[in-house]
Amino acid sequence: MKKRKVFKKFFAKKIAAVLMAAVLVVGMLSSMFLPAQKIQAAITSSNFLKADGKLLRNNYGTGEVVNLRGTNAGGYLLQEFWMCPTSYSSGTYTVTCEMDIYKTLTARFGEAKMRDLVNVYQDNYWTEKDFDNCKALGINCIRLPMWYMNFVDLNGNYLSNAFDRVDWFLQEAGERGIYVILDMHGAPGSQNGSDHSGIDGKDQKVTASQFFFGSNAYNNQQKYYDLWYKIAQRYKDNPVVAGYDLLNEPYCTYRYNSGYSDDYLHSLLWGIYNNAYNVIRSADSNHIVIMEATWDPSDLPNPSAYSWSNVMYEYHNYLYDDYDNAAGKQITNMQNKLNLIKNQNYNVPSYMGEFCYMNNVSAWQQGLKLLNDAGINWTTWTYKVTSGNGNWGLYNQSISSVNVATDSEATIRSKWSQAGTSSPNSNLLNGIKSYFSSGSSGTEIPTGDCYFVANANGKVVCADNTGNDPLIANRSANGGAWETFTIVANSDGTYSFLSKANNKYVCAVIDESSQLLARSAAISTWEKFYITKTTSGAYNIKAYANNLYVMADLNNNGVLKAVTATPSTWESFNILK
């Protein structure tokens, strides 16, 4: 991805009668809430994806529609220092990109030791725990950014273990029902001269893009084709691979100011895409081939012009402005991109491979709904970032950075051994988790006037006694104002409930056993709740004030209290209109 440096910145309750009621309620209502097809078990050959017009379908393109929704494993196989635990350095060694890491460590300790230290970082940055986190979020796809130096030594010779790490990544993801997009983030010679390609051309990015320009371009392109052939040959029968992402952000920052015409840049890129497509097809006739636009649909050809089939077109979208979405630009910017995709009307699936809606969680919710409503496959940028980077990461890291130019070998090894340590960006995750597993056709968290049914006993929640008594699940049906609540979406990703019984907001009264009571005239901390959708189509509600789930306490006639750390049947509700 690209980011300017200035923005470097989740007593058993087994009563037979209760469970029977819950099963009946869920059984009757589940068909109303089931998401679009989503992999639950390990991926097998029947999950193999192919394009079918503008859709992705499993079973080699003949099965159910699959909507890819996930994130990027950015910073894992290719570091970007603004988001990774490695420091910029100047002096004897200038270190601003991955290639500088390789060269500096080699100069200091030799190439074998360099590889050993880089392996320490990569062994620890992404582990089985990260896959577990992704699965828990409902993610069904991870885009894996790679660069060619993951596979070859400094002389360009393939490493004896070149594909071991990708093999492992695919195995672990597949076991959890997660697809993987193999993304060539850094091509030989660099396709954009930016640090996220592995080579930092600083102010000379065109010159540094030796994949496209200069005397080494042809040889670099041949290396690129050869690598894609080897990847396709190795993974041609692997159903975990969702597709081959040919080239990340070609031209990138100089797309509109390189001095070259649009026609020339298009012809150059499309020719390379066509060559790579044909090389891959010579080894693999089944996997989806993904072509990226820099930056709009008009920057990609009609696939029929090249007789391409089973391809998907990819877009990235960032707005480095209106970070809090105060003017709504984060949403209008994405809507504009979606309009361009719709108007171009290529008969291929569309994929938003990278994007970030910045600071405002409500903007994330609106933006993800836009993508889901449009039937766009998507992966956020990114899964994990160092602290101070706001909502760029689903998980954040507060760990020491390595200075590869000055730290001792032992210090580098020690610090990079902690490279994967992270904690959830809870505010963001609580707001957007449901969108990963949502159906393609609409919003996941209902708003406006609704009523709640407790799956613990199948009863409707009521603000009894005109709202003067705690909320209680004890009504057999929605009878009117006492059972009706207006769900309000707050800008921080939380929700509040305005009772129609007394026009007061529901409060988790922390100093009164955390019971829920419609008593507040305005929204503050105790009046905020997170809502997440479960795989069954029901909802869990968590109080913002104490981070505990709301339960219908059947030991107390069904009174609602925010007192449970882990949700189960008593913490499950359906939200109906």
Q: Do domains 38-436 and 448-576 have the same CATH topology?
A: no
pLDDT on residue 22: 38
Mean pLDDT, residues 186-195 taken together? 98
Confidence of residue 8 (pLDDT cuts 50, 70, 90): very low
Amino acid type, 248: N
Residue 193 has pLDDT above 70, yes or no: yes
Report pLDDT digits (tens) over 26-73.
Answer: 333 333 333 334 445 899 999 999 999 999 999 999 999 999 999 999
Q: What is the DSSP string of 263-324?
A: HHHHHHHHHHHHHHHHHHHTT-SSSEEEEE-SSSGGGS--GGGGT--SEEEEEEE---S-TT
Task: Report which of 577, 575, 511, 517 is spatially closest to residue 541, judged by C-alpha positions.
Answer: 575
Task: Identify any residues that bridge with 386 across adjacent strands, giving them in sequence order.
Answer: 397
Report pLDDT digits (tens) over 205-223: 999 999 999 999 999 999 9
Q: Using CA atoms, how far apart are residues 495 and 172, in angstroms rounded to an integer? A: 35
Q: How many CB atoms lie within 10 A of CB 362?
A: 19
The mean pLDDT value for 85-112 works out to 97
- According to the model, what pLDDT value does residue 38 have? 44
**576 with 33: CB under 8 angstroms?**
no
- Tell me what pLDDT residue 441 has: 31
Quick one: CA dihedral 329, 368, 427, 393, positive or negative? negative
Find the mean pLDDT for residues 224-229.
98
Q: Please, how many CA atoms are within 13 Å of residue 288, restricted to the half-sphere of its CB?
A: 35
Tell me how long the chain is.
577
pLDDT, tens digit, 9 for 90 and up, residues 412-451? 999 999 999 999 999 999 999 989 985 433 346 788 999 9
Region 390-400: what's the mean pLDDT?
97
Per-residue model confidence as pLDDT tens digits over 270-321: 999 999 999 999 999 999 999 999 999 999 999 999 999 999 999 999 999 9
Cα 318 to Cα 309: distance, rounded to the nearest angstrom: 29
Which amino acid type is present at position 411?
A: T
CB 360 within 8 A of CB 321: no
Q: Work out the average pLDDT over 150-173.
A: 98
| Contact of 365 with 334, CB cutoff 8 Å | no
What local confidence, expressed as pLDDT, does residue 33 receive? Answer: 30
305: left (phi over 0), alpha (psi -120 to 50) or beta: alpha
The total of other beta-carbon atoms located within 10 Å of residue 375's CB is 16
Query: How high does pLDDT run on average in the chain?
Result: 91
38-436: which CATH topology?
A: TIM Barrel (3.20.20)
Average pLDDT over residues 127-135: 97
Q: In angstroms, rounded to a whole number, what is the distance separating the alpha carbons of residues 61 and 23?
A: 34
Q: Is residue 237 classed exposed, middle or buried when 0-12, 13-18 and 19+ CB atoms within 10 A define those classes?
A: exposed
Instruction: Indicate the pTM of the whole model.
Output: 0.76
Please classify residue 4 by burial: count the beta carbons closer than 10 Å to its beta carbon, then call 0-12 exposed, 13-18 middle and 19+ buried.
Answer: exposed
Q: What residue ranges do the domains of the chain occupy?
A: 38-436, 448-576
- Strand order across the beta sheet in which 384-386 lies: 384-386, 395-397, 423-424
Segment 392-411 shows an average pLDDT of: 98
pLDDT at 3 over 70: no
pLDDT (0 to 100) of residue 438: 58
pLDDT at position 262 = 97
Has residue 25 got a pLDDT over 90? Answer: no
Helices (H), 34-83: 58-61
Percent of the chain with pLDDT over 90: 87
Q: Which residue has the higher pLDDT, 445 or 395?
A: 395
For the cut 80, the answer to whether the pLDDT of residue 491 exceeds it is no
Is residue 427 within 8 Å of residue 361, measured between CB atoms?
yes
Beta strand 504-509 with 515-520 is antiparallel
pLDDT at residue 19 tops 70: no
Q: 535 falls in which pLDDT band (50, 70, 90)?
A: low
Structure tokens at 135: 């699965």
CATH architecture of 448-576: Trefoil (2.80)
Return the higher-pLDDT residue of 325 and 23: 325
- Identify the residue with better confidence: 442 or 106: 106
**Confidence class for position 17, pLDDT limits 50, 70, 90:** very low
Structure tokens at 448: 């406006």
